[in-house]
Structure formats: C-alpha cells, structure tokens
Structure 1
C-alpha cells in the first residue's frame, strides 16, 4: 500500500508587508508553476459592484474584487481567504488565471522562503492617466524596473470595450482580471487589474 506524504508546512503565511498593509510570504520553497492558492470570496455581479461603490462613503480605493468574466466578480472581502492580501509588483513572482469560473494563483518562478508573493495588478482606467491618477495608484514594490504606478502601461493601439459602465480590458481567454473599484460616491469609475497569464487556496 502506497502512502502519500504531505508537506506539513503551508505554502505561505500572512504578515505585514513593506509594499502595503498585509502581504503573503512564502513559508517554504515554492517551485515555478506550482499552484499556490485559490482566490475565494462571495460571487456577485458587476451591477452589485457598482451599487456598492455608489453607496460607499469611505472614499477608499481599496477593494478585493476579482472579475472572472460573464459579469461575475469574486469579492474577496466577503467570505474570502488570505489570497486577498496578495500585493502588486511590477515584476511579480505569481500570476492569476480563471479556470471554470474560479481564480487560482500560480508561481511564475521558483520562490524562496520569506519572499513576498505578488502579482501585477495592471490596473486600467477609462480616460487619460493624469499625474493625480498615477499618484493615486502609486506603486511601492521597489523593483529595479518599477514603473511607479499600479496602472498598466498603455499601448497606443490598445482597444478597450466598455460594458455596464465598467472598463474592460481585452485579455486573451483564460487570463484573469481583477476588478479594483474606486469606491467614492463622487467617483464611480471602475478600475480593473489584469494578470499576465495564469492560475489561483489559501493556506
């Protein structure tokens, strides 16, 4: 009889991050392409996202919305797991992808214990990227090639589709988009982040 030996150490732990707030940190060696966790939370519609933003008076841009397509968004802030603490980096070591309506996080390369797990938010917003907007979504990843903002680097020929008052990037099928919505009653523009390629449990 064959017995499966499980690694008793969780892949990551949550602790304070030098990038922003809380973050996820490797608790053991994570191999390139290893499945790390699933991004979990309540499943809501884009209409509900916009409704919540219209009634939120906190003025905060901090949300945990992850767009999985077909008008469905996972709200990691409601019934979610530790995956919601993934921070942005301009040169990330993880990526996200949608599989059968679920979002998974997978390592892009080997990750050593103690390293923070990150994905590229690649935020997009309708309209011109102003100095104020860049500052609003300023990046703190401190990577040598940091672009200074969590906003996606725009290409002149990039096409956009607008659905339900939300800015939607035309990501290839299977790639995940994370929705980050400025929840100010005075500003209901919807911002999204898109992964480069990818799969996302947590702990």
Structure 2
C-alpha cells in the first residue's frame, strides 16, 4: 500500500499556493466559457432579429394610412415583430383609448403598452374583422404572431377588439363579412339592444308630435 504524502513547513505552504493558482485558473476558464456562450447566444438572437425584420415591410394601406405587409411567405405561429413602447398604468391606457388612441395594448393585469408607431413599426398594424395575426406574450414582450400561413404581399392584420366603453370607429378592412365597426364580437348584442332602445325612444317621441 502506498503511503500518504505528508507535507510540512515550506513544502505545505508551496503546495497550498500551487493549489490556489490551479483553482483560479480553472475558475477563469469556466468564466471565460460562460462569457463566450452568452456572447454566442446574444449573436444568434441578433441574427434571428435581423432575419425577422425581412418578414415585414411598411407601406401605404388601402385600409388606413400606413400598414404592415408580409415581405415573404410566413408560416403559422411565426413571431413577426415585437411591439415596443412605453409601459403605462391601465388607467392611463383606458383614458387614451377613450380619446381615440388605437395603439394601446394590454401588457399585464395592471399595465398597458403605449405602442405608438414612432416608437415601434408594429404600431402600424391595421384592424381586420378576420385577422391573420394576433398579439401574444413572448420572452417578456408583446409580439405580432401569425395565426395562419400568410402570402407574400398580404397585409398583416389584427382584431383591435374594442369594447363599447372605448372609442371604436368604422371598419374598412374590405372583407366580405366585415362587421362594419371595430367592436369586439361579444359586445354586438349589447350594441343592438342599445340601438333598438334609442330607435324606440325616437319613434315614441315623433308619434307624440
């Protein structure tokens, strides 16, 4: 059996110094590897973002002002562009919507995102009653995601989904089954009841004249 190595005095001190130097060297190598991995990941993300930019282009829209269009054929479920902007309280967002803003998006339970076009090209996306895209949370941000395959040159559309308490306007999406207003589907029965009530009030008023 081999006897254990016993060091004392200067030998022990020297061994301790060598051991520390080796540990530092290994630690530096590990840190260097981690830093390189992080750098490579960041570079890959940048390349992905650059490629993603080629999926859309900005130009005049027959629906309204400037819109976003598919620069290439896009598969279903593809992240196309991230909505950038200012995270605001939902109270401020509600006030902006009442004043007619159409670039306020729900960010989480307590906050909205002010994604006006000067901060994010994604803010140019127009409303369509039968949209080909949706806004979804991804990697901590809000992204425009394709809901179905989209042909090159097709305009990218989302449903603005305004409710009765917001400043909704007429829809010009041009779809054969266009709803006529940028109002969410579940509020239409409520709107019809209100219109019927107003119509009856006017009818009764003119009967008594």
Pick the TM interval, shorter chain: 0.5 to 0.7
2:141 matched to which residue of 1? Answer: 102
1:195 matched to which residue of 2? Answer: none
2:78 matched to which residue of 1? Answer: 34
Q: Is the 8 A contact 1:13 1:25 kept in 2?
A: yes
Q: Distance in 2 between matches of 1:87 and 1:93?
A: 11
Answer 1 or 2: which has greater helix percent.
2
Q: Distance in 2 between matches of 1:42 and 1:147?
A: 31
Q: Is the 8 A contact 1:9 1:28 kept in 2?
A: no
Aligned-CA RMSD value: 3.2
Q: 1:157 deviation in Å?
A: 9.3
1:138 matched to which residue of 2? Answer: 170
Deviations 1:115-157 (A, max 9, x none): 1000111211239xxxxx7xx6110001011111110122699
Q: Which runs of 5+ in 1 are unaligned?
A: 55-59, 128-132, 159-203
In the TM superposition, structure 1's runs of 4+ consecutive aligned residues that sit over 3 Å from their partners are 4-9, 47-54, 155-158
Q: Distance in 2 between matches of 1:52 and 1:153?
A: 22
Q: Report the 3-state secondary structure (helix = DSSP H, G, I; strand = E; otherwise coil) of the residue aligned with 1:105.
A: strand
Q: Report the 3-state secondary structure (helix = DSSP H, G, I; strand = E; otherwise coil) of the residue aligned with 2:123.
A: helix
Q: Compared with structure 1, are the counterparts of its residues 119 and 32 closer, same or farther at alpha carbon in structure 2 (3 Å cutoff)?
A: same
Deviations 1:89-121 (A, max 9, x none): 011111112246521111111111111000111
Q: Distance in 2 between matches of 1:36 and 1:9?
A: 8
Task: Work out which of the residue numbers 152, 157, 167 in structure 2 matches 1:118.
Answer: 157
| Count of aligned pairs | 143
Q: Distance in 2 between matches of 1:106 and 1:84?
A: 14
Q: Distance in 1 between matches of 2:152 and 2:52?
A: 15
Answer 1 or 2: which has greater strand percent.
1
Normalised by the length of structure 1, the TM-score is: 0.60
Where relative contact order (Cα < 8 A, 6+ residues apart) is larger, the structure is 1
Q: Distance in 2 between matches of 1:147 and 1:121?
A: 12
Normalised by the length of structure 2, the TM-score is: 0.59
| Alignment map for 1:1-203 (pairs within 5 Å) | 7=51, 10-49=54-93, 61-77=100-116, 80-99=119-138, 101-126=140-165, 137-154=169-186
